[in-house]
Amino acid sequence: MDSSPTGIAKFLLPKTPLLLKTALWHSLSMSSTSSKWDLKTEITVNLLRDMMGPKSSPTPVAKVQHMTCKDPGVKGKIWVSKVKLHVPGEDDVRQIMFKAIEDMGTGEEQWTKPEQRPLEAEWNGYRADVKDDEPEPAGMSEEDKYKNLMKETKSKVTVLYFHGGAMYLMDPATCRPLTGRVSKDTGGRVFNVRYRLSPQGPFPSALLDCFTAYLSLLSPPPGAVHDPVPANEIVFGGDSAGGTCCTALLQLLLQIHRSSPAGRTPTVRFHGKDVEIPLPAGVAMSSPWLDITRSLPSIESGTKYDYLPPPSQVDKREIPKDDVWPANPPRADFYCEGSALMHPLVSPLAAKDWSNSPPLFFSVGEEMLRDEDAVLAQRVVAQGVTVVWRDFEAMPHCFAMLLDGLPGGDVHYEEYASFCKDVVEGKGLVSNGVYIKAKTLERSDMDVKAGLTQIKDEEVEAYMKQGKERIEKKFNQGLEPSSERPMLMKSALSTTVLVLLVATFATEVLAAECFKPPFSRCNEKSFSNKDKKSKINIKLTDKELESLPTDIRKAIAAPGGIDPTRNVALAKAIAEYASRVSPRQLVNPVHDSEYWRSMDSHAGFARVVAEDPSLAMQLTKKGDTVVIEDGEGEGKCEEGDGHCLEVTATTPPPALV
């Protein structure tokens, strides 16, 4: 997709009615999510729903893959060193994995044994002291980039990262903003793997690549730029389908350990060496996808705050045929044969035994995948495994990656990095859960042993069997079961960057005076002010006004209101308080003007535009009067015109001066 100004304009034009409706409903607090989301979040999620919902048109698989795997180039605060590692001369890695697949299955699963291939990946690390748009050094070799990356590495943390994308989309290049943030916050480095995508590389192709990547960290192949990395310094990381990779790889390792003599670390022949296969320090996941059958209740019920379409919305659409899909020979699912949908290395939710696992970190929203994540977290805790659970109120799938700059996203990254550092440093973690409120970020404890979900393991198995049967039945009837797959919609997440650009632009425009009473036109002076510092949008509901401290409320309601040019401390106190009550919105005044009183009674909130208290000392040059306009005025306060009022000095409570 074109992210140029022209491209944004072309994308934005047909979405204008949706943007206007979203902004209006949000400003009036009439949307079901306005109490939990800011305007940018509301616009972003609604744009994605529109693009991915039942009214959107499916795109051929190969085209979507091409769009989502484009490398946007490297710039800004990240080091990227691209590597391609040789295929081992032995076949031991494949054979030990194939044996585990057979031992963990029922014997009825059908799957094709993939060949080993050169492993492609990139090392990502934080690059300090450069501008956000600075390109990577020209002419520098990949090895030298890695050396520079290592010079800026401050901790022992190495995150083996698997990107999301429903096992058929995306690329390491598309998640560099995420891996760059992780490397910055941990002080470590990220090994970002380009695993094989389905449907071209069905199960277990991706798993073989992930296993090879782990072994390559433990024992670098010839020509690798890195030194051996101890297992206790490695954390598996992934978002969405990357969580599938994390948990499937972990189960593979656990099965290899279960199949080995007690007390001995298993080994495998890899590039001419007998390499031990220890477990990693931990596993850190964001919104992991654990059930390929897509069958637990929240897949349908958890849509209020999510943007992914549930299977019921898209189960009748047909994917345009191309050289990639339908597969040859045909199969029920992009990722695997229908018979393998409940194999524990396909859908890790089906795995029963997690004993001896390293600590697991879950960061989830109030999303469609929540049930499967909660079930697995409670299951592994019951088996003595340490779980760190972070549950974010009203947040959609992979919210921290999607909604850059969201305060809750910052909390996610802080918690994620803290877990990675703690497990690598060997700190004695204990299982714990925290629920984090959407706007206030208020935290409350959760019971990870029994308080995450009431769904029992026997119910999970029944749900998954029903889901598997549904998918196989549709396939046998000649229908398209993979049309239910998350993110297979027109342009889908290939346009995430464009959506974010549009959402940011639209938020700046719509957050001006266009969608506040009298709903006529923008306050041009406020909109044209590029530094965003000389105006503050003020909105306070009647309920919020009543919740203000008595002294502030009395000062606001006093005849003449507040004059920040004389009452700097009071104005700042109000601004500081209001920033907690209503982020980015200041408070106002109930005033004697008939216009403002009628607006209160009819619209349910008061709103004015006031000068920024931080500039109060500069405003004295304009005299003792501050003009407050509603956007319809001409810049002058004429008596009786109904579009502005004058706020003059009042005496504030002594305690606030």
Residues 21-70: tens digit of each pLDDT: 777 777 777 788 888 988 888 888 888 888 887 777 788 999 999 989 99
pLDDT for 148 equals 98
The structure tokens listed for 314 are 């898209």
3-class DSSP assignment, residue 572: helix
3-class DSSP assignment, residue 95: helix
172-230 pLDDT per residue, tens: 999 999 999 999 999 999 999 999 999 999 999 999 999 999 999 999 999 999 999 99
Say if residues 232 and 281 touch (Cβ distance below 8 Å): yes
pLDDT for 306 equals 95
When computed from its CA atoms, the radius of gyration of the chain, rounded to whole angstroms, is: 28
Does 112 score more than 90 pLDDT? yes
CA angle 497-500-505, nearest 5°? 130
pLDDT for 86 equals 96
75-106 pLDDT per residue, tens: 999 999 999 999 999 999 999 999 999 999 99
231-249 pLDDT per residue, tens: 999 999 999 999 999 999 9
Measured between alpha carbons, how far is residue 76 from residues 5, 79, 133 in Å?
A: 21, 8, 5
**Whole-number Å distance between alpha carbons of 498 and 493:** 9
Q: What residues does 160 pair with on adjacent strands?
A: 191, 236
Does 607 score more than 70 pLDDT? no
Which residues lie closer than 8 Å to 351 by C-beta, 6 or more apart? 104, 247, 251, 344, 345
Kindly indicate the confidence band of residue 442, based on its pLDDT and cuts at 50, 70 and 90. very high
**Whole-number Å distance between alpha carbons of 58 and 60:** 7
Which residues lie closer than 8 Å to 559 by C-beta, 6 or more apart? 592, 650
The structure tokens listed for 235 are 């954390």
Does 576 score more than 60 pLDDT? no
**Whole-number Å distance between alpha carbons of 334 and 203:** 9
**Which residue's entry shows tokens 């903003």?**
177
pLDDT for 527 equals 22
Which residues lie closer than 8 Å to 211 by C-beta, 6 or more apart? 93, 97, 249, 252
**Whole-number Å distance between alpha carbons of 311 and 555:** 54
Measured between alpha carbons, how far is residue 402 from residues 41, 75, 244, 287 in Å?
A: 9, 19, 19, 12
pLDDT for 529 equals 24
Say if residues 37 and 144 touch (Cβ distance below 8 Å): no
Does 4 score more than 90 pLDDT? no
Kindly indicate the confidence band of residue 511, based on its pLDDT and cuts at 50, 70 and 90. very low
pLDDT for 229 equals 99
Measured between alpha carbons, how far is residue 24 from residues 18, 477, 499 in Å?
A: 10, 45, 19
Mean pLDDT within 414-431: 97
Q: Which residue has the higher pLDDT, 1 or 429?
A: 429
Does 316 score more than 80 pLDDT? no
The structure tokens listed for 123 are 């090392």
154-170 pLDDT per residue, tens: 999 999 999 999 999 99
Say if residues 397 and 430 touch (Cβ distance below 8 Å): no
- Burial-class residue 62 by CB neighbours within 10 Å (0-12, 13-18, 19+): middle
Q: Which residue has the higher pLDDT, 239 or 652?
A: 239
Q: What residues does 536 pair with on adjacent strands?
A: 610
Per DSSP, 135 falls in state B
Q: Which residue has the higher pLDDT, 531 or 2?
A: 2
Q: What residues does 121 pair with on adjacent strands?
A: 83, 193
274-308 pLDDT per residue, tens: 999 999 999 999 999 999 999 999 999 999 999 99
pLDDT for 7 equals 58
**Whole-number Å distance between alpha carbons of 109 and 353:** 20
**Whole-number Å distance between alpha carbons of 1 and 112:** 35
pLDDT for 2 equals 52
pLDDT for 538 equals 37
Q: Which residue has the higher pLDDT, 191 or 632?
A: 191
3-class DSSP assignment, residue 462: helix
Does 120 score more than 90 pLDDT? yes
pLDDT for 57 equals 79
Does 513 score more than 50 pLDDT? no
Say if residues 441 and 408 touch (Cβ distance below 8 Å): yes
**Whole-number Å distance between alpha carbons of 192 and 173:** 9
Q: Which residue has the higher pLDDT, 226 or 506?
A: 226
132-144 pLDDT per residue, tens: 999 999 999 999 9
The percent of residues in the chain predicted with pLDDT above 90, rounded, is: 59
pLDDT for 307 equals 92
Does 489 score more than 60 pLDDT? no
Which residues lie closer than 8 Å to 471 by C-beta, 6 or more apart? 293, 332, 333, 338, 341, 481, 484
Does 369 score more than 90 pLDDT? yes
The percent of residues in the chain predicted with pLDDT above 70, rounded, is: 70
Q: Which residue has the higher pLDDT, 637 or 9?
A: 9
Count Cβ atoms below 10 Å from residue 57 Cβ, excluding itself: 10
pTM as predicted:
0.77
Q: Which residue has the higher pLDDT, 192 or 611?
A: 192
Does 622 score more than 80 pLDDT? no
